[in-house]
């Protein structure tokens, strides 16, 4: 049986450390501020945005939530982003995706001041990440990297496969593992013999959005498996949350594995707060705290 990687516990510890740093900043009259913008009433986005606001307050940061009508125009949204760019009390800005179809996501993401881009999606931060220049790193891959480093300590020379090549998970994950000197393969829907590629890998990060797609028989014995997927399915008449890896099969083969829920999910919000703290420290020319 593979060891369970407890992302919830790791995220709680990280949030406590962040809260301690926020308290230290108070002595300098600095309070990190995070603004989250939601457009429309998408149920999943509503849950995520509420959770983000709650956690932001819990670690002692200033939290602003802006909820805009589904019909908000791109121009109106860009005006709000610009106001937040200018707002001295705000260190991090996150526009919750997906956005309604009348709004171009790239235009909005790239309108955020890169120094406040705590999601790390701005083209400047993407370029910095791939060039190994200090940047704000997308939260989910950053969380995966923290869990991997905590588990394996040194990733040098490991064969890693990331299944999925999205801009928000797959690609930044590949950049982070390359920077840790892994030999990185990126799998996607056009990859030939994906199963065999996965079988060769010491590290598997699954971010596909297909419930339980990665089978236990694909996993190399002893490999470390990080499951990013969050899929709501119905099984035996019951609603259930499952990942992109068949957990019951994979845990029998893997050396260590993240569960869904309780694995990568909680790390994403913790890393958002981590990024907001970093953005605040950079703006005030303060030393960046190291948590891992």
Q: Which active-site residues does the annotation give? A: 52, 96, 119
CA terminus-to-terminus distance, the chain: 27
DSSP 3-state helix, strand, coil percentages of the chain (rounded to 5)? Answer: 40, 20, 40
CB of 76: closest distance to ligand NDP in angstroms?
26
Does residue 242 interact with ligand NDP by CB under 6 A?
no
Residue 96 and residue 44 in contact, taking contact as beta carbons nearer than 8 Å: no
Q: Is 264 in the site for ligand NDP (CB under 6 A)?
A: yes
Q: Which x/- pattern over 114-143 shows residues binding ligand NDP (rule: CB under 6 A)?
A: --------------------------x---
Name which of 101 and 287 has its Cβ closer to ligand NDP. 101
Residue 268 CA to chain centroid, in angstroms? Answer: 4
CA dist 27 → 33, 38, 55, 59, 86 (Å): 16, 32, 21, 15, 24
Query: Does 270 sit near ligand NDP (CB under 6 A)?
Result: no
Q: What angle do CA 132, 137, 141 make, to 5 degrees?
A: 105
The owner of tokens 């000197």 is: 181
**Nearer residue to ligand NDP within complex by CB, 25 or 203:** 203
CB of 103 closer than 8 Å to CB of 70: no
Binding map of ligand NDP across residues 68-87, x = CB under 6 A, - = no contact:
--------------------
Nearer to ligand NDP, 60 or 209 (CB): 209
Between residues 52 and 128, which has the closer beta carbon with respect to ligand NDP? 52
170 is a contact residue toward ligand NDP (CB under 6 A):
yes
Cα(75)–Cα(63) distance, integer angstroms: 24
Interface mask toward ligand NDP for 175-194; x: CB under 6 A: ------------xxxx---x
The residues binding ligand NDP (CB under 6 A) are 140, 163-166, 168-170, 187-190, 194, 207-210, 213, 228-231, 244, 264-265, 268
């Amino acid at each position: 049986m593979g060891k369970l990687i407890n992302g919830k516990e790791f995220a709680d510890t990280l949030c406590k450390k962040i809260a301690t740093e926020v308290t230290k900043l108070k002595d300098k009259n600095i309070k990190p501020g995070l603004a989250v913008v939601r457009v429309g009433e998408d149920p999943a986005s509503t849950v995520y945005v509420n959770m983000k606001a709650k956690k932001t307050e819990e670690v002692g940061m200033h939290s602003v939530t802006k909820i805009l009508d589904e019909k908000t125009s791109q121009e109106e949204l860009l005006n709000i982003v610009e106001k937040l760019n200018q707002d001295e009390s705000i260190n991090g800005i996150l526009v919750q995706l997906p956005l309604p179809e009348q709004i171009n996501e790239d235009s909005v993401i790239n309108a955020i001041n890169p120094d406040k881009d705590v999601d790390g999606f701005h083209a400047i931060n993407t370029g910095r990440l791939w060039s190994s220049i200090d940047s704000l790193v997308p939260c989910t891959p950053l969380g995966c990297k923290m869990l991997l480093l905590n588990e394996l300590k040194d990733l040098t020379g490991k064969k890693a496969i990331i299944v999925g090549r999205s801009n928000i998970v797959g690609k930044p994950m590949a950049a982070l593992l390359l920077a840790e000197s892994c030999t990185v393969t990126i799998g996607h829907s056009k990859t030939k013999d994906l199963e065999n590629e996965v079988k060769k890998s010491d590290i598997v990060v699954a971010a596909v959005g297909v419930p339980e797609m990665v089978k236990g028989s694909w996993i190399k014995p002893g490999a470390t498996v990080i499951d990013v997927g969050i899929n709501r399915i119905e099984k035996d008449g019951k609603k259930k949350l499952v990942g992109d890896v068949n957990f019951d099969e994979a845990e029998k083969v893997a050396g260590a594995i993240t569960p869904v829920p309780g694995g990568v999910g909680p790390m994403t919000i913790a890393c958002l707060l981590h990024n907001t703290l970093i953005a605040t420290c950079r703006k005030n020319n303060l030393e960046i705290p190291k948590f891992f």
